[in-house]
Structure 1
Amino acid sequence: MEGNRDEAERCINIATKALEAGDRDKALRFLIKAEKLYPTGRAKALLDALQKNGSSAGNGAYRRRPAESSESADARTESQESGGGDSSKGFTKEQVDGVQRIKRCKDYYEVLSVNKEVGEEELKKAYRKLALKFHPDKNHAPGATEAFKKIGNAYAVLSNPDKRRQYDLTGGDEPSSPGHSHGGGFDFQRGFEADITPEDLFNMFFGGGFPSSSTHTFTNGRTSYSQQADYRQERTEERGDGGFSMFIQLMPIVVLIVVSILSQMMVSPPPYSLYSRPSTGQTIKRHTENLRVDYYVARDFKSEFKGSALQQIEKNVEEDYVSNVRNNCWKERQTKTDLLYAAKVYRDDRMRKKAELMTMDNCRELDRLNNLFRGG
């Protein structure tokens, strides 16, 4: 029944909203369901109050106690931020020190305790280790949730080649001014936020190994996960949920995964690469006749591709190379524009100098290629 804890929490949240709207029957229905899914003192207390005194008493169960001291309120807030929301769960000094270390980090490499030359596998290992250590359902120290989110953001950026390249170009320091990260205006650091939540990253690696006891409140730029979860819960209740309905909902995802795996197995890799790839044996360096673009092939390439076949391969190499250079040039220009705009808005000479010192290597290479095409 441990896996039903989230559903029970969502039922309680829906019941609370129903009480506020004056819908006593709906609140009672969802509280009974919450007790069946995962019995908790919170749902039972609301049920008792509702059955004895009606909806007004139920709402009263959520009012803050007037005699509560500021210290106890702060302790409760920190406990809820740590992920569990249960003040009875303990934590060690090592966990507290770990959370404080993550909060002090101003660089994503420092967050994951890796260097800037770290490879994909080492990055995964570092993330796995920290995600297990700081997941809010395992680490109940104050601030564990924020630390876990920061770890997830760091991995989401550094594991994405394009975001990592942009992050390295623009520097890793977080803004020291609160105006840079909160409030209105231009928010430069938001360019480095994760496309998916740290919770989703964790579940991708571990299959949801630690069931979350709190409702997701991370947003994806459109609709909050908590709002979506409440809506799905209400729809499920109207239809009558069960194992079969959950299976039906998961079927499209399973089909997509199977199709993706089959397509990867059936499609053979290209006979060349623009970069050396020991894993595929493409380590022999060659260059095209026309633009002198370097590319890498396997040892048996020369015997398999000759004449018109070789010409077609080299044409594909040059097209891929030009496309990559064009895309990277666009990214360089966009990054420089963002830096200059941020420097202007915040009157930051450091950002302005960084923008002016950008080498724009891909844009220079694109100009060279355009001159070759015009000359040809």
Structure 2
Amino acid sequence: MEVNKDEADRCIELAEKYLTEGQKDKAEKFLLKAERLFPSQKAKDLLARVSAAGEGDTANEAEDVPRKRSRSNTTTPPRRVAKEQKEDGAGAAPAGADYTQDQKEAVSRIKKCKDYYEILGVSKEAPDGEIKKAYKKLALQLHPDKNKCPGAVEAFKAIGNAVAVLTDAEKRKLYDLHGSEEERISARRRNHGHQEYNYTRGFEADFTAEELFNMFFGGGFPNQTVYTRRNGRWQRNTDEYQQTRQQQQTGGYTIFLQMMPILILIVLSMMSSLFISDPIYSLHASPKFPVQRKTLNLKVPYYVKENFHTEYQGSLRRLEITVEEEYVNNLRHACYREKNYRETMLWKARNFGDRDLFTKAQNIRTPSCDVLNELQGRA
């Protein structure tokens, strides 16, 4: 990238300076860094020169240093010398770090910004062209592949959010209206007495910071993604996205087909409930079944509707057999419950040694069992 080339040229200049001063180790260090950033023939030639330099050359260069320094001191004003020395060390990386002081200052500046305009360094009246130009400049400086300074990733996300909001007419309008209120409520946080920018505040971008970077610099998108701007908004149109939509639609049809048998069963059960007729009789009197009748065999009482004689067209003998079977089954269940309760109370009385409770348990009656025994005697 162009930024790498500029930094490599600066490293070569520093290497030449140190080589002139006889500091071969420092010169070699900056030349190797220049080769890593942006390989060039000039850096290779200087590295070969440093490697081939002998002790005599080093001594001669060391003797020339006082004369060159004296000439520069006599011909250059003191303020200019101080300025040049300051510029020579401004872009140098801190000891043991793989980032420059300029990169660190760029990240630190964005941390102190209060809004998106300040992040990009543009005015609130700046057009889209100026905003995009400012973003490109900062993106090259803050991209995580280029800037290894702590906080560079967050700063890179911040400029991505800024350009996404400020180049969208609707989002920019809302941001201008409500941004200051959000800053007071949630956009700013206090950290050791300093106000820092909250990178997650405000309106989020539609894409990731890396995708925005690729859109502006023509980088290849993963999965052949193509972004277009329509009606003031970025829209994505990808082959994979279309395939995913088709797969989702196909999957929906598949699920529908799988659920079809269950839906059919549900519909059939609902329809069958509509065709179920009311019962012909009831063992208990009710407004719907007010007329009492008795079976011919066991004399079991049951109740029918008022229009039973005209509505029922079946066999009366078969109906009474059904009534007697249901009545006897109900008695059997009730008798079982009564006996079970009586046996439980007797066991409890024996377990606690309670004579009164034992007497009461023995006197518990079982009316359903009595009726059942009576019916069995009739049969």
Q: Higher relative contact order by CA 8 Å / sep ≥ 6: 1 or 2?
A: 1
Which structure shows the higher strand fraction?
A: 2
TM-score (normalised: structure 1): 0.29
Q: Greater CA radius of gyration, 1 or 2?
A: 2
